[in-house]
């Protein structure tokens, strides 16, 4: 074989090896590229999913916050309306008390209020305050009220009292119309007080019965 043929064979062999090696490198490079591309695409998808999930959670949180704020606002409005209704009810009840204070049994009621007040205040010298329009009535029934008080104490405690009970003489200190009638008893220069006005009694009853009133007026109140 001629030297030129040998050289040609060697060249062809080298070229073949180089071609195969280049092809091998190309295949490996494409494989590595595809693998890297798949990894990047997968990571990008995960990143997008995470971002979408975060945005969805943020949206849900904002919706819950808005819904909670709306519910809270509705509750405040409902409570305000209910309170206004209860205050209206209390005001109307006060008007009815004023009607009672104009009734024929009002003197007897005043007497009972005075007796009860004297028992509660437990003082020997007491001043009674009332509305200006009730001064005459209170002055008229006062002796009988004191007598009843003394009899009760003697019967219950065996003690005979001689209380000094008088009606306030300063007309500027008479009770206002908001009292709806009744009396205010004071002792020790006003340091001790027993509020037995119709308004005070009404408020006591209102506070005591408020749970029942709410249950009747607003049976659907949330637990």
In a domain, 216, yes or no: no
Q: Does 109 share its domain with 180? A: yes
Instruction: List the domain range (segments joined by +) for residue 125.
Output: 105-209
For the chain, what is the radius of gyration of the CA atoms? Answer: 48
Q: Which of 100, 118, 138 is the last residue of a domain?
A: 100
Whole-model pTM? Answer: 0.59
In a domain, 129, yes or no: yes
pLDDT, tens digit, for every residue of 67-95? 888 887 777 777 777 777 667 766 767 66
Check if the beta carbon of residue 128 is closer than 8 Å to that of residue 142: yes
Residue 130's φ and ψ, nearest 5 degrees, are -150, 180
In a domain, 159, yes or no: yes
Strand, helix or coil for residue 194: strand
In a domain, 217, yes or no: no
Q: Does 113 share its domain with 145? A: yes
Q: Does 147 share its domain with 160? A: yes
Q: Does 109 share its domain with 172? A: yes
Closest CA to 173 of 184, 188, 187: 184
pLDDT, tens digit, for every residue of 162-216? 899 999 999 999 998 888 889 999 999 889 999 999 888 888 877 776 777 777 7
In a domain, 92, yes or no: yes
């Amino acid at each position: 074989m001629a030297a030129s043929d040998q050289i040609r064979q060697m060249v062809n062999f080298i070229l073949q090896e180089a071609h195969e090696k280049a092809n091998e490198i190309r295949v490996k490079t494409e494989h590595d590229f595809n693998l890297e591309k798949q990894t990047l695409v997968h990571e990008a998808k995960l990143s997008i999913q995470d971002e979408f999930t975060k945005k969805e959670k943020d949206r849900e949180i904002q919706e819950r916050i808005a819904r909670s704020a709306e519910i809270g606002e509705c509750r405040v409005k409902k409570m305000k309306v209910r309170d206004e209704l209860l205050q209206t009810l209390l005001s109307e009840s006060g008007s009815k008390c004023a009607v009672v204070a104009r009734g024929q049994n009002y003197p007897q009621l005043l007497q009972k209020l005075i007796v009860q007040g004297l028992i509660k205040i437990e003082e020997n010298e007491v001043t009674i305050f009332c509305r200006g329009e009730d001064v005459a009535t209170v002055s008229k029934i006062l002796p009988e009220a004191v007598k009843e008080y003394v009899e009760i104490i003697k019967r219950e405690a065996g003690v005979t009292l001689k209380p000094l009970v008088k009606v306030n003489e300063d007309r500027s200190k008479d009770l206002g119309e908001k009292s709806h009638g009744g009396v205010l008893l004071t002792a020790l220069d006003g340091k001790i007080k027993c509020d037995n006005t119709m308004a005070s009694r009404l408020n006591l009853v209102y506070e005591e019965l408020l749970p029942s009133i709410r249950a009747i007026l607003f049976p659907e109140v949330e637990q």
